[in-house]
Structure 1
Amino acid sequence: MWAVIDIGSNTIRLVIYTIDNGHPRPMLNKKYAVGLAAYIDKANCIKQEGINILLDVLADINTILRYIHPECVLPFGTAALRNSANGDEIVSLIKERCGMAVRILSGEEEAVFDYYGAMLEGIGDDGLLVDVGGGSTELTLFKDRKIISALSIPLGSLNLYRTHVDGILPTQKEAHKIKKTINDYLDKLADNELMHNNTIYCVGGTARAALKIMRDRYLPSGREEDNSYTRSQLKGMLDNIEKNRKQLMHNILCLSPDRIHTLIPGLLAFYTVAKHYDSNKLVTISLGVREGYLMHHLGERGNTRE
């Protein structure tokens, strides 16, 4: 068994995998809704309160691991640690207190590992992979099953919420500001090869939570096997935030309560990327950076067939 610890901006996850014919099979998946990005101060440092919560979570994970005895533990951090001024200090503290050697992934590495994970699920030969996290959004362009470009922008569902939203759900005016902020970043990207991709593959926790909402309220059949929706369907939902605010809050609380404040900013990010790159179809992929990072590590060790 292999343990992957994903220290993200919204959540921290421990996933225990076995490897079956080259594919990772999750045996345990434990999520901690921490919201590390919410503890970043004006100096761009994670506050002591956030550090203490992180250390408490990792201590709890260590307790679990002592009973499971995985062959290897692979902890990594993404945008919250990557973008904070004291990220390296926190990594050293984790090593000292918890005995874990956390690797902070660059934005490009995160985008690449997202693609490696999505490949395991069987995506198309061409497309654009989008991962809206809590503190960043990764964009991976691939053609003929080869990565053409892997980019990251420092905008995610949680920091977009903190910057632009005063209440729980954004108003139409706040939603417009969120979309403009994302568009301004996308316009600055030098890589124009991302343009005009009909299909966007959506990965990560925000993407999975978004699919639950779309499936429950806006997809005709609502079937579990439905994993895609159109840009126009997403627009229809976002255009009615004010009108359906109470019902939408109820739906999110029922389906993904820990994302009550971040899900709509995340959906706005997916919609803005889709519109910017003229994408009409959004397909949700369940595998992503954790599986990609694990399989990359196993590939280096020659253990992918266990």
Structure 2
Amino acid sequence: MARLGVIDLGSNSVRLVVYEPKPADETKPFRTLIDEKKMAGLAAYVSNGVFTEAGIKRAESALGDLLRLADNLGCSRTDIFATAVLRNCANSDAAASAIEEAIDHPLSVLPARDEAHLGFVGASVGNSLTAGTLVDIGGGSTELTALGPDGDHAGASIPFGCVLAYANYVRTVLPTPAECRIMGDAFRREVEALPNKDGYRSGRLHGIGGSVRAVAKMLAAVSADGVRPSVIARGDLEGLFDLLQGDAPTFAHRAVKAAPERIHSLVPGMVILRTLMEELQAAEVVPCKYGIREGYLITHML
């Protein structure tokens, strides 16, 4: 059976997922075979709004390795898309063209609205998302999508993600309480500036992407039973901040076990999520298993 590869060039990681299509009448029209990730930290290669030559070389290296892996795994087709790290830089077109030429493979830079819609399509696999707001906290941006009975509606892209927040506001590895407050205030200003903020208010948020999953993993790491929660309540999130402030060494050791590749971006992601819950008056966040890569697969490749 054919194998299809999707490579997501993100602000923090570059990820290849290999899928095998399944019959169209099944609830989930694919089977995930391989999930390979390279932590590239590309957001750190944006200087004065420009994606640097060093960043381009790093992206080329990661993509080249993953394309070879996809070929070795027998993928009949492999698509690459990029999100905020290339979309929001001043030299987006030139950087994307340079990467395409170096790897000899097409690269699509997703518009923010398309990224939000693909996230909704992926999150809907196995779920009925009829109300609420979909949240995707990425490395370089945070996407909001308003949901209704007839699908996804308005979308907003906030140029504030967990990796950029770490780079801009954190001096060491774990943020101090003061740095958390500064990050939260800065992100709050971005949310308050949204022209249609009220359209995203909801008691329930649906979360996709690695940042929300990392928070769920961290909650499992500090819980007595070690079980990852299906719902993240505001009190659960506040408990993590209490642990960070009251016993930072224990928090750090648990974080290394829960999400070692996100040790630097975990707390900034927590800050963004907490601020969103406050500003959008949400009582809970439901982590979704699938997201933008699966949305891309369904809409562009199946």
Return the letter of the residue paired with 2:231.
S
CA-CA distance at 1:24 after TM superposition? 2.4
Shift of 1:98: 1.1
Deviates more, 1:27-36 or 1:123-132: 123-132
Alpha carbons 1:194, 1:277 under 8 Å: kept: no
The offset of 1:209, in angstroms, is 1.2
1:137 aligns with 2:142: yes
SS of the equivalent of 1:72 reads strand
On the 8 A contact 1:129/1:202 being kept in 2, the answer is yes
2:14 to 12, 15, 24: 12
Counterpart secondary structure, 2:186: helix
Other structure's SS at 2:160 match:
coil
Q: Residue by residue, what CA displacement relative to the aligned partner does 1:87-135 show, whole Å, maximum 9, x if unpaired?
A: 2122212221212111101112111111010011314311111000000
Residue of structure 1 equivalent to 2:33: 27
Question: What TM-score results when the alignment is normalised by the length of structure 1?
Answer: 0.92
Match of 2:249 in 1: 246
Per mean C-alpha deviation after superposition, the further-off stretch among 130-139 and 104-113 is 104-113
Is 2:297 the partner of 1:294? yes
Q: State TM-score, norm by structure 2.
A: 0.93
Q: Name which of structure 1's ranges 6-15 and 199-208 shifts more when overlaid on structure 2.
A: 199-208
Structure-2 residue corresponding to 1:160: 165
Instruction: Determine the structure 2 residue equivalent to 1:46.
Output: 51
Cα separation, 2, equivalents of 1:124 and 1:265: 27
- Give CA deviations for 1:244-275 in whole Å, capped at 9, x if unaligned: 21111111111211111111000110111011
Residue type at the aligned position of 1:222: G
CA shift for structure 1 position 195: 4.5
- Work out the percentage of aligned pairs sharing the same amino acid: 30
| Letter of the 2:42 counterpart | L
1:175-186 matched pairs, under 5 angstroms? 175-186=180-191
1:61-140, aligned counterparts within 5 Å?
Answer: 61-140=66-145
- The size of the alignment, in residue pairs, is 296
**AA of the residue aligned to 1:31:** K
Aligned residues of 2:18 and 2:70 also touching (Cα < 8 A): no
What secondary structure does 1:252 align onto?
helix
Counterpart position of 1:203: 208
Q: Using the alignment, how far apart are the partners of 1:282 and 1:168 within structure 2?
A: 26
* Residues 158-237 of structure 1 mapped to structure 2, 5 A cutoff: 158-218=163-223, 221-224=225-228, 226-237=229-240
The letter for the 2-side match of 1:107 is A
Q: Deviations over 1:27-84 (max 9, x none)?
A: 1110000010011112x11222222111111121222133233222110000111111
* 1:127 and 1:197 in contact (8 A); partners too: yes
Match of residue 263, structure 1, among 250, 261, 266: 266
Tell me: CA distance 1:195–1:6, structure 2 relative to 1, closer, same or farther (3 Å): closer
Q: Contact conserved, 2:6 with 2:18, CA < 8 A, in 1? A: yes
CA distance in 1, matches of 2:267, 2:39: 17
**Secondary structure of 1:241's aligned partner:** helix
Q: What code does the residue aligned with 2:226 have?
A: G
| Coordinate RMSD, CA, aligned | 1.5
**Distance (Å, rounded) in 1 between the aligned partners of 2:168 and 2:99:** 29
Judging changes above 3 Å, is the alpha-carbon distance between structure 1 residues 51 and 197 closer, same or farther for their aligned structure 2 residues?
A: same
CA contact (8 A) 2:67 2:78 kept: no
Shift of 1:145: 4.1
- Cα distance per residue 1:124-172 (max 9 Å; x no partner): 3111110000000000110114212111100000101111111111111
Q: Which amino acid aligns with 1:297?
A: H
- In 1, are the aligned partners of 2:56 and 2:99 still within 8 Å (CA)? no
| Unmatched 5+ stretches in structure 1 | none
Please identify runs of 4+ aligned residues in structure 1 that moved more than 4 A.
none
User: What is the SS of the residue equivalent to 1:49?
Assistant: helix
Secondary structure, counterpart of 2:19 in structure 1: strand
Do the aligned partners of 1:126 and 1:145 also contact (CA within 8 Å) in 2? no
Confirm or deny: 8 A CA contact 2:205 2:284 kept in the other structure.
yes
